[in-house]
Structure 1
Amino acid sequence: MTPLTRTRPADGTSADVLVVGGGITGAAIAYEAASRGLDVVLVEKDDFGGATSAATGKLIHGGLRYLKQLEVGLVRESLAERRTLSVIAPNLVSPIAMVLPGAGLVERAGLTAYDLLSLDRNRVADRSKRIPRHRSLSSDDLASLGLPDLPSPVLFHDAMMLSPERLTLAFLRSAVAHGARVANGVRVDALLGGPQRAVGARVVDELEGGTTEITAGVVVNATGAWAQELVGAPAPRVRSEGIYLVTRQITPTMVLTVTPHGHFSFAPWRGHSLIGPTETPYEGPVSQWRLTRAAIETFVERINAASLLPVALSMDDVVAAYGGLRPLTESAGADTYRASRAAELVDHARDGREGLVSATGGKYTTSRAFAQHAVDAVAAKLGRRIAPSTTARVPLAGCDVPDLPAAIAATAARHPGLAADTVDLVVRHYGTDAEAVLALAESDPALAKRATADGEPLATVAWAARHEMPRSLADILLRRTGIGTLGDPGDVLGREAARIAGEVLGWSPARQAAEWRDARRAVSLPVD
């Protein structure tokens, strides 16, 4: 087991690579660089995976719609990485069936291309990760999937993450296992060096206090929607806002809805439906963006107007909502829906500033492949010959689960006193660490208590507090466990989670109460 350990920056800290930003892009770059022999420091001003990396639809997908934009290379890369992630994180990434209604000749041709571009998709040892070709559906097929009659339906498959937050943590833990030093709650105050070269950063430790300087051969700006702010570049005029709703389960099978101005889907997730995304231009400062109740209400109205499913959602059906700003590339224009999701590595030497690169754009699916490309470029800037990449075939930390169904069955047999859904969820969330988490649940009735309807135990709170570097109860509920991602767990469970975490982290009763107040606001729907 590789715990996340916070390495507080100290005076004199130096590294080959300083990664600024602890989302999936920064985490993947840190892992790629450290695994190939580079000395890496990563700092994140808030919490790991706390912004755009968590504000996803949880799909690991090729991006069928990008074929319409003729981005064949991006689709091929994405489909290859779909298979790669199911191999290196098999407990967290699994195939999902989805139905596309209203499929005409263009859509069917696109799905044929999708299949052809992923001919290697079933080169996996775990049979549960294999993906069939697309096919048309009959009325009887739809009924067997729990769906009403839909026009011209086609069934195809992509993959879905159970928890993007835990997948980001797996990349970070893998980086730490290879010697990377990581810290959340550390803000970059300024880049070091003059206008011709960046040589590191002055950072402020927001948790423990103090300011220090970190020197590095190359600084990697992986701050997503904040990328321009870090390097002092003009902010883009428009960014892309995407929000998602978690509702009562609408359908047991994923269904897509495509409109001329965007798309959204109903995806089954943890006994609920995950609906999204929106695609709304946002023109304000990144720091001022927040999810509003008005945006949620507008999306509910849009769903009811556009969905092909016989559904009439109300705000009473919405148990949770989240969103964020997508980090599009520098070349993205005002049409955010059609803007490319390709990643771009910007070498600021083009502007006369050596030692600084920015990782922009991209999608969660291709983060590992982008990191491999980025580290090749960083090594060239350092003038270093580094080891070949192994990240496409070596399981991430905690994810060495070669046969997921067999692992779940064997773990359930070893823990007959625990509910089957609890064992299933814990194995999928924690992989090879599941035994230790379940042992915690068995050690104390308070830790065995179910915190969610699908069986997540409060033992996951204790595990997070002990091993996963949370700064707050909100970190635990939203980005270490899945308890808060399903909405407000209620006052009794929230207070108990604060007590469990507080006993490990040394929080006073007053601090525990304050942590729950703050966390409850974070997991609840906005009131305005």
Structure 2
Amino acid sequence: MQRSDFGGRTTTVDVLVIGGGITGATVAYEAASRGLQVALVERADYGGATSAATGRLVHGGLRYLKQFDIGLVRESLAERRTLMSIAPNLVDPIGMVLPEPGLVERVGLTAYDLLSFDRNRIADRSKRIPRHRILSRDDLSRRGLTGLRSGALFHDAMMPNPERLTLAFLRSAGAYGAQLANDVAVETIIGGGGRVVGAQVRDGRSGRQGEIRARVTVNATGPWARDVLANSPVTDVLAPPAPPVRSEGIYLVTRQLSTTMVLTVSGHSHFSVAPWRGLSLIGPTETPYHGDVDDWRLTRSSIDDFLETVNTTSMLPVQLGPDDVLAAYGGLRPLTEQTSTDTYNASRASELVDHRADGLDGIVSATGGKYTTSRAFAESTVDTLAAIGGLQVRPSTSATAILVGCAASDADSGIVEQLYGGAAPAVHALADEDSRLARIVTHDGIPLAALAYSARFESPRSLSDLLLRRTGIGTVGLPADDDLAEMAAVAGAELGWDDTRIDAEIKASRAELSVPDH
């Protein structure tokens, strides 16, 4: 995936996308695949921040039934099927148990089945999803859920490595000519006379300024959307008041506690315990956060509070302590801006704000996005961009075209095939050429060759980028010191780092991957 250099020059495109999370990635792909010239800049790394703080579910929105948001449920169900079709190695069905379902829950699951009547209109039989069913106590015991008296089994889908899905959309955008760059910050949005014409940017690698001029600019920066507007004189009038509260969601990784995903639902929260890469992924929380977006950090107190909630409300057969947490991560949800302090019941719908209604042409803000509906949101967004910019676009094909690098896999595929799809043979070839790179460095089989491949072809800025947002090596916990040093050496050889840079990367990665102690 080639990284563009925007420093020291003026670039002219149809669409400038600010933000390289899942919303920005899908918009860039949709726009480029429909014939538009696209530039995307991300101030940090692709798929980081909020896009990395996910429970890895691609779900039909069962919880939205409680809010009677039938349209969002139907859209989510349709996009669940679409993502399994266009990213077959990255998205698969997963069964989950709702403990002790009452009449309301059973009616809701029946409605969920009815709303997903077309869920199995998919060629790959392994992606087909059955109707929900009630499990007997013996069924539950066979799944290791001995503490439950009853449960309802239903299915959604899971993307074990969402960072790879974001990259797949970006690589697909690049294949259609989109210019992409991480480590490029927007210094100011530019324009005048009631119109935005692009942005002044600074490349973090070269330090050089550049200018990207566009017919339409898309602010796809998630929780930073308001700040991006407020920090530029041309757009500060568009920035709404800072919301009084935001929603923090964190996740914990522990040893495997169950081979079946189990939900815990209460009036104002829900979390799951999901089998993931031979471990358990527990989350999310739904915690009010007061403060600036840039000041948010995962803290020990947040982890301890969540452990207490899990121990007191879940039906797990064990009690968890701090030493059980192998890894932890989180972030702030990109909810549409609101004045209410009730984040749990806030809308999860995506929203495109066309700022012509505020008196400023040439810019939109894409907010509230999530993985499941990101492609559909991008499709409707590009329709709007074409109208705003007077642009001619081709019909959308993103609902049926397999993403670049994705390929069908089966239950016997290894983790390299799951992560890298069509590029898996190239990863294996690196391991065959160099026995050092054949060494397995995670419990589930990721070799050093994956890190070397991603360093060479996937535009990382740092060792942390490679461990967290390319290979998934670091998402299951901090590697041992010797392994971390070897990973840094492999990355350094590919990226031209000297010994001082390698030492700095090891230190930074250790700090980012460690479970917080304060």
TM class by shorter-chain length?
Answer: over 0.9
Match of 1:255 among 253, 259, 262: 262
2:472 is aligned to 482
Deviation at 1:5, TM superposition (A): 3.1
Tell me how far apart the structure 1 counterparts of residues 2 and 254 of structure 2 sit (CA, whole Å). Answer: 32
Tell me how far apart the structure 2 counterparts of residues 511 and 431 of structure 1 sit (CA, whole Å). Answer: 31
Deviation at 1:195, TM superposition (A): 6.4
Which 10-residue stretch deviates more, 380-389 or 475-484?
Answer: 380-389
Change (3 A) 1:471 1:104: same
Give the secondary structure class of the aligned counterpart of 1:13: strand
Asked if structure 2 preserves the Cα contact closer than 8 Å seen for 1:5 and 1:467, the reply is no
Which 10-residue stretch deviates more, 141-150 or 99-108?
Answer: 141-150
Tell me how far apart the structure 1 counterparts of residues 49 and 256 of structure 2 sit (CA, whole Å). Answer: 25
2:420 is aligned to 430
1:363 is aligned to 370
Q: Deviations 1:232-264 (Å, cap 9, x if unpaired)?
A: 213211111000000111101000001122001
Give the secondary structure class of the aligned counterpart of 1:148: coil
Pair 1:318-2:325 in alignment: yes
Tell me how far apart the structure 2 counterparts of residues 332 and 372 of structure 1 sit (CA, whole Å). Answer: 28
What is the 5 A alignment of 1:1-20? 3-20=1-18
5+ residue gaps, structure 1: 410-422
1:377 is aligned to 384
What is the 5 A alignment of 1:231-380? 231-232=229-230, 233=239, 234-331=241-338, 333-380=340-387
Asked if structure 2 preserves the Cα contact closer than 8 Å seen for 1:148 and 1:309, the reply is no
How many aligned residue pairs are there?
509
Change (3 A) 1:21 1:255: same
Tell me how far apart the structure 1 counterparts of residues 453 and 4 of structure 2 sit (CA, whole Å). Answer: 16
Q: Deviations 1:317-349 (Å, cap 9, x if unpaired)?
A: 100000000011124621000001000000111
Pair 1:502-2:507 in alignment: no
Give the secondary structure class of the aligned counterpart of 2:158: strand
Give the secondary structure class of the aligned counterpart of 1:321: strand
5+ residue gaps, structure 2: 231-238
Which 10-residue stretch deviates more, 228-237 or 180-189?
Answer: 228-237
2:397 is aligned to 390
Change (3 A) 1:29 1:463: same
Paired letter, 2:46: F
Q: Deviations 1:467-509 (Å, cap 9, x if unpaired)?
A: 0000000000000011000110111110101100101110012
Asked if structure 2 preserves the Cα contact closer than 8 Å seen for 1:104 and 1:152, the reply is no
Match of 1:50 among 48, 51, 57: 48
Deviation at 1:454, TM superposition (A): 0.6
Give the secondary structure class of the aligned counterpart of 1:124: coil
Tell me how far apart the structure 2 counterparts of residues 131 and 6 of structure 1 sit (CA, whole Å). Answer: 41
2:236 is aligned to none
Give me the identity figure in percent.
Answer: 63
Asked if structure 2 preserves the Cα contact closer than 8 Å seen for 1:36 and 1:387, the reply is yes
1:160 is aligned to 158
Tell me how far apart the structure 1 counterparts of residues 136 and 319 of structure 2 sit (CA, whole Å). Answer: 25
Deviation at 1:425, TM superposition (A): 0.3
Tell me how far apart the structure 2 counterparts of residues 10 and 344 of structure 1 sit (CA, whole Å). Answer: 34
Deviation at 1:453, TM superposition (A): 0.4
Tell me how far apart the structure 1 counterparts of residues 2 and 458 of structure 2 sit (CA, whole Å). Answer: 5
Asked if structure 2 preserves the Cα contact closer than 8 Å seen for 1:332 and 1:340, the reply is no
Paired letter, 1:341: R
Give the secondary structure class of the aligned counterpart of 1:504: helix
Deviation at 1:6, TM superposition (A): 3.5
Paired letter, 1:62: G
What is the 5 A alignment of 1:68-87? 68-87=66-85
1:513 is aligned to 503
Asked if structure 2 preserves the Cα contact closer than 8 Å seen for 1:18 and 1:219, the reply is yes
TM-score by length of 2: 0.97
Change (3 A) 1:430 1:322: same
Give the secondary structure class of the aligned counterpart of 1:22: coil
Give the secondary structure class of the aligned counterpart of 1:365: coil
Q: Deviations 1:55-99 (Å, cap 9, x if unpaired)?
A: 000000012111000011001100100000000001000000000
Deviation at 1:283, TM superposition (A): 1.4
Give the secondary structure class of the aligned counterpart of 2:320: coil
Tell me how far apart the structure 1 counterparts of residues 341 and 440 of structure 2 sit (CA, whole Å). Answer: 46
Asked if structure 2 preserves the Cα contact closer than 8 Å seen for 1:328 and 1:339, the reply is yes
1:36 is aligned to 34
Give the secondary structure class of the aligned counterpart of 1:454: coil
Tell me how far apart the structure 2 counterparts of residues 274 and 231 of structure 1 sit (CA, whole Å). Answer: 35
Give the secondary structure class of the aligned counterpart of 1:120: coil
Tell me how far apart the structure 1 counterparts of residues 343 and 174 of structure 2 sit (CA, whole Å). Answer: 35
Paired letter, 1:300: L
Pair 1:204-2:211 in alignment: no
Asked if structure 2 preserves the Cα contact closer than 8 Å seen for 1:95 and 1:129, the reply is yes
Tell me how far apart the structure 2 counterparts of residues 514 and 486 of structure 1 sit (CA, whole Å). Answer: 22
Give the secondary structure class of the aligned counterpart of 1:426: helix
Q: Deviations 1:197-250 (Å, cap 9, x if unpaired)?
A: 111001111111111111100000000000001112132111110000001111
